[in-house]
Amino acid sequence: MKVAIIGAGWAGLAAAVVALKNGHTACLFEASHFVGGRARALKGMEHQPPLDNGQHILLGAYTQTLAMMRQVGVDPEQALHSMTLRMQFPDGHGLCLPAWPMPLDLLWAGATAHGWSMADKLALLRTMVVWQWQGFACDAHVSVAEVCQGLTPKIRTDLMEPLCISALNTPIERASGQVFLRVLHDALFGPPGCSRLLIPRMDLSRLFPVPALQWLMQHGGQCRLGARLQSLQQHQQKWRVFDEYFDAVILATSASNTARTLMQSALIATKSIANQMRSWATLANALPFEAIATVYAQSPGAALAQPMLALRSEAMAPAQFVFDKGQLGGPQGLLAFVVSACQGTRESLQAQVLSQAQTQLGLTLQAVQTIVEKRATFACTPGLQRPPQHIAPGLLACGDDVEGPYPATLEGAVRSAVTAVACLS
């Protein structure tokens, strides 16, 4: 089939790679003049290397993403720093899994965790046994806070809250317990290596988007940058995109951008297809979103005990994690602070994070750049209805915000792309 893919983020690039691999003809359209979408490198400031538009963590359980990287010539062993799952704070408290088989790793980590009482550890063990007995499943309308009711306050604040905010980008009180348990199951109870944290050693553009674009060009694909699609039109059994006809179209832009395109396209569509387009757009426009801020700051002697640490987060100390870019292939002394579900202005967040670094890390830092993605991810709330993959005959959507089992992650985006291409046949 001749397939048009709209959007060159991770989902669109993955869809184009899979389409070509499956024997289709793929043409990729991107409104901007760069690829990577919400996970890419930004042009560095004067005398500064490129900075990512947000810090990302992958897991060993991200099998589709890792396979896609290998497909386009990126070696995850070289591109990613691998470490055992840990949620440790600067004072050493928290959980650190050893590189042992499951469940020995989790049992040992819980038993030896610093700063936890015996009551804390027993509550964690008891809750994990209950979750496993229930198949890591719960009602769709239950929050993470509710599924964690059997845990002590210490375990909630030291483990579950950081895990939830890092995986779902949504505070524990508003996050979906069903999705959270699915992520925990895949990470902790999957094949060996699934729980490992994989932190990029290179900028996000070089991690997948740029190699994927090069792979596409080498294998007969097409990519047209600076091509902003306003609407598309069905003509007999084909779709018209920029005066060219395609057998199928995969919309891989953000849910809000796809909704705008569909609402415009509905004006000239047949009644039945127009209704399907409007229905999809209505679901997409109802999605709640969360902002994520990344504060880059530096000091010549700044260094962490390990590449990533959890931070104690509160209203005036909003960062949940900090990354040592010097240990990840970047400049020495450069740290990246991540504030998920952030609120407030860029200036106030930056000032609060610098104060937090002084208080919790004992570091006096100078701000380099603060990047706020106001619609970085959808809020993964209980019972959330996400727009479906199928829109109309020959018209599909993919992305991390499309219906699926995962929250807004790179793995969610790539899996959605693979599924969309599979629907073509």
Taking only the tens place, the pLDDT of each residue in 333-392 is: 999 999 999 999 999 999 999 999 999 999 999 999 999 999 999 999 999 999 999 999
Average pLDDT over residues 101-105: 74
Quick one: which of 357, 419, 425 has its CA closest to 389? 419
Report the pLDDT averaged over residues 111-134.
91
pLDDT tens across 8-59, in order? 999 999 999 999 999 999 999 999 999 999 999 998 666 678 899 999 999 9
Distance between CA atoms of residues 127 and 342, nearest Å? 29
Left (φ > 0), alpha (ψ -120 to 50) or beta: where does 254 sit? beta
pLDDT: is 79 or 84 the higher one?
79
Q: Is the pLDDT of residue 292 over 80?
A: yes
Distance CA 259, CA 395 (A): 13
pLDDT class of 105 with cuts at 50, 70, 90 = confident
Domains of the chain: 2-37+203-288+382-423 (3.50.50.60), 85-192 (no CATH), 289-378 (3.90.660.20)
Q: What is the pLDDT of residues 166-202, one digit of tens each?
A: 999 999 999 999 999 999 998 888 888 898 999 999 9
Contact 381, 174 (CB under 8 A): yes
The pTM of the full predicted model, rounded to 2 decimals, is 0.94
Give residue 44's pLDDT.
65
Across-strand partners of 240? 233, 245
pLDDT at 300: 92
Least confident range of 75-89, 97-111, 112-126, 367-381: 97-111
SS3 320: coil
